[in-house]
Amino acid sequence: MNAKALSRDSGSRSTEAVPAGRLVCRDVSKTFVRKGRPLLAIDNASLTVEPGEFVALVGPSGCGKSTLLRLIDGLSRVDGGEIEVGGKRVTRPGPDRAFVFQSDSLLPWRSVEANVAVGLELRRVPRREARAEVARLLEMVGLSDFAERYPHELSGGMRQRVNMIRALAVDPAVLLMDEPFSALDAQTRELMQAEVTRLWLASRKTVLFVTHSIEEAVFLADRVLVMSSRPGRIKKEFPISLPRPREVGIQRTPEFSEIARAIWEELRADVLRSFAIETNNEQMLAELNAEIDREAEGSGDRG
Ligand SMILES: Nc1ncnc2c1ncn2[C@@H]1O[C@H](COP(=O)(O)OP(=O)(O)O)[C@@H](O)[C@H]1O
Ligand SMILES: [Mg+2]
């Protein structure tokens, strides 16, 4: 039986049913063409996110984080490997996945409640039911009084809250978030981190959260995955066993600092390499590669 037939059958074989929220990327590769030349953006990236797990993905700029999320969402096709959500192969966007972008993508001509209702309308959820769900979500993020306002009347933090509940409204199994708070000021960002944790604890979605902030990743996640510079691979993972619920103050504890430092150590060379690649600095790249070779020799045959 081929893979296609297997996945079509899987609904009836309860012993092998894969939970809807499990996300698997297996040896995923993606190549772009830039200036007529192929550019390998992602090279055999593999990861699994278990149902209800909150996983953060960090990596240097340009390493392929957004590309990977777009592949998982089905906005772009893999060139190699495969992506499965709930045991089903991803080929296009679907209601089992929702994407929260860095800049909120609210429709300016729609009120807050009408924005949150977009996905429900697309799925032809009966009006009354949709209204009740929208009201529930607005209440959850303290925006009930803003239901009839328009996006331009909201602060950045409020807009991003609306953005998040709009994604949750369609009840996806997997929530993909691409640096959702990076445009916010530091205080708002802290509030939003608490907010996203609260929403996650209440909904228990599977979350894959991309951020360039190590602190944000450690604060939010059950596990932090580190991506290498381009071509991106998942090169290391760090389980975060800090107790929940986590208060902001946890960021000043030695345990937190220790894990954040370890992640930074893992990332440092790749961030520099990435900078050298993006700025076409060949000398810097050569020096970094030499340093990596020296380290590899020094560490023996660990891996
Ligand atoms: N549509 C595209 N066409 C050509 N190159 C792309 C495209 N999308 C992304 N890239 C390139 O792929 C690499 C990874 O990009 P991206 O996934 O946006 O990185 P990140 O989100 O980690 O900063 C970058 O070098 C970027 O320039
Ligand atoms: Mg990106």
- What pLDDT does residue 6 have? 42
- Specify the number of domains making up the chain: 1
B/e letters for 29-67, b = 16+ CB within 10 Å, e = fewer, are bbeeeeeeeeeebbbbbebebebbbbbbbbbbebbbbbb
CA 70 vs CA 66, 121, 139, 144: distances in Å: 6, 23, 30, 31
User: Is 22 touching ligand 1 by the criterion CB < 6 Å?
Assistant: no
User: Is 205 touching ligand 1 by the criterion CB < 6 Å?
Assistant: no
Q: Which of 246, 142, 157, 143 is nearest to 194 (CA)?
A: 246
Q: Residue whose CA is closest, atom 23 of ligand 1?
A: 62
Q: From the alpha carbon of 76, which atom of ligand 1 is closest?
A: 1
Point out the residues of the chain with pLDDT beneath 50.
1-15, 302-303
Q: Can you state the percent helix, strand and coil of the chain, rounding each to 5?
A: 45, 20, 35
- What pLDDT does residue 273 have? 86
Is there a domain that residue 229 lies in?
yes
In this predicted model, what pLDDT tens digit does every residue of 24-61 receive, in sequence order? Answer: 999 999 999 999 999 999 999 999 999 999 999 999 99
CA–CA separation, 52 and 201 (whole Å): 9
- What pLDDT does residue 291 have? 82
CATH number at residue 285: 3.40.50.300
Is there a domain that residue 57 lies in?
yes
pTM given for the model: 0.89
- What pLDDT does residue 281 have? 87
Torsion angles phi and psi, residue 50, rounded to 5: -80, 155
- What pLDDT does residue 7 have? 43
- What pLDDT does residue 23 have? 98
Q: Residue whose CA is closest, atom 3 of ligand 1?
A: 32
Q: From the alpha carbon of 178, which atom of ligand 1 is closest?
A: 21
Determine the structural domain holding residue 28 and report its residue range: 18-96+172-298
User: Is 70 touching ligand 1 by the criterion CB < 6 Å?
Assistant: no
